[in-house]
Amino acid sequence: MDDTFKPTDIKCLPGSFSSAWQSPSNIAIVKYWGKLPGQLPANPSLSLTLEKCHTETRLEMSRRDTAKEGFDVKIYFGGQEKPSFAPKIEKFFSRIEPYAPYLKDYCFTVRTDNTFPHSSGIASSASGMSALALCLTDFERTCGQTTAGQDFSRRASFYARLGSGSASRSIYGCAAVWGKTPAVENSSDLYAVPVPYDSVHPVFRNMCDTVLLIESGSKSVSSTEGHALMDGHPFARQRFVQAGNNVEALAAILREGDTEAFGHMAEAEALTLHAMMMTGEPYYILFKPFTITAIQAIWAYRRDTGAQVYFTLDAGANVHILYPEAEKDKIRDFIEKTLSPACGNCGFIHDNAGTGPGKLD
Amino acid sequence: MDDTFKPTDIKCLPGSFSSAWQSPSNIAIVKYWGKLPGQLPANPSLSLTLEKCHTETRLEMSRRDTAKEGFDVKIYFGGQEKPSFAPKIEKFFSRIEPYAPYLKDYCFTVRTDNTFPHSSGIASSASGMSALALCLTDFERTCGQTTAGQDFSRRASFYARLGSGSASRSIYGCAAVWGKTPAVENSSDLYAVPVPYDSVHPVFRNMCDTVLLIESGSKSVSSTEGHALMDGHPFARQRFVQAGNNVEALAAILREGDTEAFGHMAEAEALTLHAMMMTGEPYYILFKPFTITAIQAIWAYRRDTGAQVYFTLDAGANVHILYPEAEKDKIRDFIEKTLSPACGNCGFIHDNAGTGPGKLD
């Protein structure tokens, strides 16, 4: 148990409660890959928070009549009950229960929906888990639950992290860091903290990210399995050191507004993430052929036009195309007319760095 | 100067000399990637020698009338004079001159040809440099040049290595090791040695390798540049240790005839080689989209049929498909009917482990 987040007594549990939040996905520039026990990161990571790719979650809680074993959770996704999603929520609840001792006192109904297409290969765990964490933290705030520092976002991030590591960063707008790093004050392995807004150069505050939807359906290797393969990985120790250094370098790049250095970092980190998959035991590849097509096309376009356009990848085949707002018209034209057709007319979502989660109604 | 190969006096230089050799390409299972100064390998490597992909080289030498600066070399490729190839030969000559002090006493005409298509992305440096090294060693033998150990192949491999690292392994049939390793007696960083034929299980002695021709034209990053990027590479030290261990493990696998372990090693090494490129500074990718298509198709076919079929890659986009002779009909059918069409009806060359170079008359 992390003492910072140990629960205080909630004097009066309400009969029912409802809260709804929208919370965004995020795109890591310096990647989190490799876990320590207890859902702690093997290295710090730094992401931009997205705006349009987000989850909307409504949580309804009502007092349970009788004490039973386990949690009582019903989950609806896009209006349909999804019993298959329940085990993930139950696992999340069991992880946070030491900090949220009221969980077995309630029946939960979770209604959730994403703004991005289902099975499009966009990780919904970051937006989904952060939205749910915000609802629960909202409940605690309503009940007068207090924590050290009284920081609502920090507690929500702490909960989100226990659901999905990268979800911890979705609690904040603009840019966030998860994992202890000298680059950002008060950073922690337990929760994410924002990169202070005034230490992010304006060019990055609304950085564009067009997600090229190359993947659909489920991945051949889940991120959970992938993280596990960093245990005993031949290059793990050097990689973790590198990522720590990269977070420090990126914090300076964000301050200075150096888009070229930012793009170089984003691409190098993306290729390193996938190189770790290719060199693990067992080895695997999450690239699809069109991932290579897109990367080569972006490199060719940049070489030919001098445009500020870069890519990054998550642990999947989709390509995130990063470019400053000032280049928007030109780059979107390239994406729509050249890049998407080259990738079999794959779909895309134009997104950008956003302001973080928000409470609904 | 490596004393082992220092020249002895050649008493009588003939007025003219001619020699012709054919020498094969080879496919590394444990890869050489990263050079120490003096064309020495940062780690040992182990390859199978190919049969059909080879170079035929005829060397004609005649005494020079007058002493001039530099070497006098004319090179013909496929019957056409190729002045553009001369600098590579001259560089090679300047490297071996301390061991071959007669080089400036002759005019050289090199007529060379490959059995595989030009610009098909098959490295011709291994077969080309080894064939030329054999011609020169042949000259020395004719003239009574002696070297420590009197080993013709070893001297040819030493020369070949100074032309192109991987060429050193093409001097021997079946399987060869370049670089000091406890796995093979008398192995050396200066030249390759054969993996003793009776310590190679029969299944590997004629192992099939179908080269899928995905690349054409020149590569975006040359192997010379690629090797250089291992200097200061974040994962270099661990990689070199790993390769050393892999050569030892592979020697045992070859002895025992474990095709599955062989295939796993071949694939892991291929992906690690490309991962090193992706994680260097600067990073780059030599995969083409069809490289991914082919790899995924091979994995799917293996999963579906249980066939012993594996891939490896050189420093390029072409996919080498490895399978035992016993699976030949089935796998070649798959390659011709399914795999090649999936890769845009790319060409392929059916090859197999062979018996090494041979003198032509």
- Which tokens hold the place of B78? 């496929």
CA-closest candidate to residue B275, choices A360, A207, A274: A274
Position A121 scores a pLDDT of 66
Position A123 scores a pLDDT of 65
CA-closest candidate to residue A25, choices A150, A158, A171, A205: A171
pLDDT digits (tens, 9 = 90+) for B313-332: 999 999 999 999 999 999 99
What's the CA gap between A310 and A321, in Å, rounded? 6
Q: Which residues of chain A lie closer than 8 angstroms to B288, CB-CB? A: 292
pLDDT digits (tens, 9 = 90+) for B265-277: 999 999 999 999 9
Give the CA-trace dihedral at B83, B85, B86, B88, to 10 degrees.
Answer: 160
Instruction: List, in order of start, the domains of chain B with CATH numbers.
Output: 3-203 (3.30.230.10), 205-352 (3.30.70.890)
Q: Which residues of chain A lie closer than 8 angstroms to B239, CB-CB? A: 234-235
- Burial of residue A129 (number of CB atoms within 10 Å: 0-12, 13-18, 19+): buried
Which amino acid is located at B278 in the chain? Answer: M
Strands A72-77 and A106-114: parallel
Position B212 pLDDT exceeds 60: yes
Q: Which residues of chain B lie closer than 8 angstroms to A285, CB-CB? A: 271, 292, 295-296
Q: Which residues of B touch A (CB under 8 A)?
A: 234-235, 238-239, 242, 267-268, 271-272, 274-276, 278-279, 281, 283, 285, 287-293, 295-296
The stretch A143-168 carries a mean pLDDT of: 87
- Contact between A26 and A81 under an 8 Å Cβ cutoff? The reply is no
- Contact between A254 and A195 under an 8 Å Cβ cutoff? The reply is yes
pLDDT digits (tens, 9 = 90+) for B59-100: 999 999 877 789 999 999 999 999 999 999 999 999 999 999
Beta-carbon separation of B239 and A234 below 8 A: yes
Position A2 pLDDT exceeds 80: no
Which residues have C-beta within 8 Å of that of residue B216, sequence separation ≥ 6? B119, B120, B121
pLDDT digits (tens, 9 = 90+) for A251-291: 999 999 999 999 999 999 999 999 999 999 999 999 999 99
Beta-carbon separation of A287 and B292 below 8 A: yes
- Burial of residue A282 (number of CB atoms within 10 Å: 0-12, 13-18, 19+): exposed
Q: What is the DSSP string of A226-295?
A: HHHTTTT-TTHHHHHHHHHHHHHHHHHHHHHT-HHHHHHHHHHHHHHHHHHHHTSSS------HHHHHHH
Paired residues of B23 in beta bridges: B55
Position A144 scores a pLDDT of 81
Confidence at B150, pLDDT banded by 50, 70, 90 = low
What's the CA gap between A19 and A25, in Å, rounded? 19
Nearest to A274 among B272, B278, B291 (CB): B278
Best of B279, B285, B291, B313 to disrupt the A interface (most A CBs within 10 Å) is B279
What is the three-class DSSP state of A171? helix
What's the CA gap between A108 and A130, in Å, rounded? 16
Beta-carbon separation of A283 and B289 below 8 A: no
Which residues have C-beta within 8 Å of that of residue A121, sequence separation ≥ 6? A213, A214, A215, A216, A217, A219, A316, A317, A318
Position A167 scores a pLDDT of 97
Category of B315 on φ-ψ map: left (φ > 0), alpha (ψ -120 to 50) or beta:
beta
b/e burial code for range A290-318 (CB count within 10 A of at least 16 → b): bbbbbbbbbbebbeeeebbbbbbbbbbbb
- Classify residue B353 by its DSSP letter: B
Position B29 scores a pLDDT of 98
Q: Which long-range contacts (CB under 8 A, 24 or more apart) does A83-87 make?
A: none
The stretch A333-356 carries a mean pLDDT of: 97
Cα dist from B284 to A152, A314, A330, B279, B288, whole Å: 43, 18, 25, 8, 12
Q: Which residues of chain A lie closer than 8 angstroms to B285, CB-CB? A: 271, 292, 295-296
Confidence at B119, pLDDT banded by 50, 70, 90 = low
Position B241 pLDDT exceeds 90: yes
Which residues have C-beta within 8 Å of that of residue A72, sequence separation ≥ 6? A64, A106, A107, A108
What is the three-class DSSP state of B333? helix
Position A149 pLDDT exceeds 60: no
b/e burial code for range B279-317 (CB count within 10 A of at least 16 → b): bbeebbbbbbbbbbbbbbbbbebbeeeebbbbbbbbbbb
Beta-carbon separation of B283 and A289 below 8 A: no
What is the pLDDT of chain A when averaged over all its residues? Answer: 94
What's the CA gap between B10 and B146, in Å, rounded? 9
- Contact between A230 and A281 under an 8 Å Cβ cutoff? The reply is no
Question: Rg of chain A over CA atoms, in angstroms?
Answer: 20
Which residues have C-beta within 8 Å of that of residue A151, sequence separation ≥ 6? none
Beta-carbon separation of A289 and B285 below 8 A: no
- Which tokens hold the place of A25? 């996905």
Position A306 pLDDT exceeds 60: yes
Confidence at A219, pLDDT banded by 50, 70, 90 = confident
What is the pLDDT of chain B when averaged over all its residues? Answer: 94
Strands A80-81 and B40-41: unpaired
Position B233 pLDDT exceeds 80: yes
CA-closest candidate to residue B291, choices B272, B312, B260, B269: B312
Beta-carbon separation of B238 and A239 below 8 A: no
- Which tokens hold the place of B239? 């990689």
Position B13 pLDDT exceeds 80: yes
The stretch B138-149 carries a mean pLDDT of: 77
Beta-carbon separation of B293 and A289 below 8 A: yes
> B123 versus A174: which is more confidently predicted?
A174
End-to-end CA distance of chain B: 33
CA-closest candidate to residue A45, choices A340, A265, A337, A330: A265
What's the CA gap between A42 and B162, in Å, rounded? 43
Q: How far is A88 from chain B (nearest CA, A)?
A: 29
pLDDT digits (tens, 9 = 90+) for A96-109: 999 999 999 999 99
How many Cβ pairs closer than 8 A exist between chain A and B?
Answer: 68
Cα dist from B66 to A13, B9, B91, B103, whole Å: 104, 21, 22, 13
Q: How far is B42 from chain A (nearest CA, A)?
A: 17
Percent of chain B with pLDDT over 90: 85
b/e burial code for range B37-49 (CB count within 10 A of at least 16 → b): eebbbbbbbbbbb
